[in-house]
């Protein structure tokens, strides 16, 4: 939902290490053809730091390289992706796209200087910005599938995801680890339980595995999600003017849930798009369900008519009669 459940120094700008690669993957997914095959250039086969061990002259797809980027945290994969997807502008153009994406997502304390996360002047972010990025990224099904993968084979290599939380925490579905001397241990993760997703971010945290487990125990127990609407659920029946049926059901076009603290409740108000007069066609937009907590709006779901309602017969005959000559 984008709601912050707990924060501490969330706006402090720090190095982000390989959690940078969340943005690298997102930009690549938007700019590149996943099945396009390219050849690894020698300069990208010997990049410092963590690696998927690309070989000069090796041919592989962007899809395979993304697995090396996110599971093995390959700096070589990051440089190859940036050069491949950046077109004539190469890595420099790709990094510009990363910064443009950050700005579009409201990441006010973030700037990227490279696609890998290696320490460099002007390269940094904060916990709140990285949380925003993670929430957005997990909405991309291809990205979510990659970061939840525990092992993957590319060519003759088998890579294991560096994110140990996939095996340690119930419901963990991602995201990305990071480490450099300047950044220390940096971790962005995502956990889903009972249909509710939470994201946790800890820059410069030497006890990150345990801290994330504690954060999720706190988040899920203190702010359980309350389901306000489920897809296809009848939210309300409303009166129909001039209809063969006196009422028509309004059904939710999507699901909606919101985390609630103890003592809070999810309030519902229905806003209709217009007067309800027959004839009515099922599936057409009727209005919106508006959800609030303590008087503050937190979300909306479109409402559709759940049934056809024909006009009353006498009205139909009257309309026909008015249309006859004489």
**End-to-end Cα separation, the chain, in angstroms:** 63
Buried b (16+ CB within 10 A) or exposed e, 156-195: eeebebbbebbeebeebbbbbbbbbeebbbbbbbbbbbee
The reply to whether 21 belongs to the active site is yes
Instruction: Say which of 73, 116, 148, 189 is annotated catalytic.
Output: 73
Residues shown for the chain: 326
Residue 23 CB contacts under 8 Å (≥ 6 apart), including other chains: 98, 101, 102, 112, 133
Long-range contacts of 290-296 (CB under 8 A, 24+ apart): 291/228, 291/229, 291/256, 291/258, 291/266, 291/267, 292/266, 292/267, 293/258, 293/260, 293/264, 293/265, 293/266, 293/267, 294/264, 295/267
Q: Which of 220, 222, 223, 188 is nearest to 204 (CA)?
A: 188
3-state secondary structure of 127: helix
Rounded Cα–Cα distance for residues 61 and 46 (Å): 19
The pair of three-digit structure tokens given for residue 22, joined into one six-digit string: 């969340």
Rounded Cα–Cα distance for residues 93 and 298 (Å): 37
The reply to whether 73 belongs to the active site is yes
Q: Which of 129, 130, 113, 133 is nearest to 121 (CA)?
A: 113
Rounded Cα–Cα distance for residues 168 and 178 (Å): 18
Instruction: Say which of 18, 50, 116, 125 is annotated catalytic.
Output: 18
The reply to whether 41 belongs to the active site is no
Q: Which residues are catalytic?
A: 18, 21, 73
């Amino acid at each position: 939902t984008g709601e912050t459940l707990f924060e501490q120094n969330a706006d402090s700008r720090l190095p982000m290490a390989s959690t940078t690669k969340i943005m690298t993957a997102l930009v690549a997914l938007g700019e590149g053809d996943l099945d396009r095959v390219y050849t690894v250039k020698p300069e990208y086969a010997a990049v410092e730091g963590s690696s998927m061990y690309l070989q000069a002259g090796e041919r592989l797809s962007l899809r395979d390289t993304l697995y090396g980027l996110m599971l093995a945290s390959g700096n070589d994969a990051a440089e190859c992706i940036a050069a491949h997807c950046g077109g004539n502008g190469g890595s420099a153009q790709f990094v510009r796209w990363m910064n443009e994406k950050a700005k579009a997502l409201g990441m006010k304390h973030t700037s990227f200087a490279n696609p890998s996360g290696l320490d460099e002047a002007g390269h940094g972010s904060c916990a709140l910005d990285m949380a925003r990025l993670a929430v957005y990224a997990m909405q991309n099904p291809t990205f979510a599938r990659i970061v939840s993968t525990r092992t993957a084979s590319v060519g003759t290599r088998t890579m294991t995801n560096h994110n140990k939380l996939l095996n340690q925490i119930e419901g963990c579905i991602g995201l990305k680890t990071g480490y450099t001397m300047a950044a220390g241990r940096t971790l962005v993760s995502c956990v889903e339980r009972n249909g509710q997703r939470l994201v946790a971010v800890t820059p410069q945290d030497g006890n990150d595995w345990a801290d994330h487990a504690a954060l999720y125990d706190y988040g899920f127990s203190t702010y359980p999600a309350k389901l306000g609407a489920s897809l296809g659920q009848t939210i309300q029946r409303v009166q129909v003017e001039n209809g063969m049926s006196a009422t028509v059901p309004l059904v939710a076009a999507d699901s909606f849930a919101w985390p609630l603290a103890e003592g809070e409740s999810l309030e519902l108000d229905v806003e209709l798009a217009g007067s309800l007069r027959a004839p009515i066609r099922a599936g057409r937009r009727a209005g919106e369900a508006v959800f609030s907590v303590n008087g503050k709006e937190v979300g909306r779901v479109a409402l559709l008519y759940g049934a056809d309602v024909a006009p009353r017969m006498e009205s139909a005959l009257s309309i026909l009669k008015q249309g006859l000559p004489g």
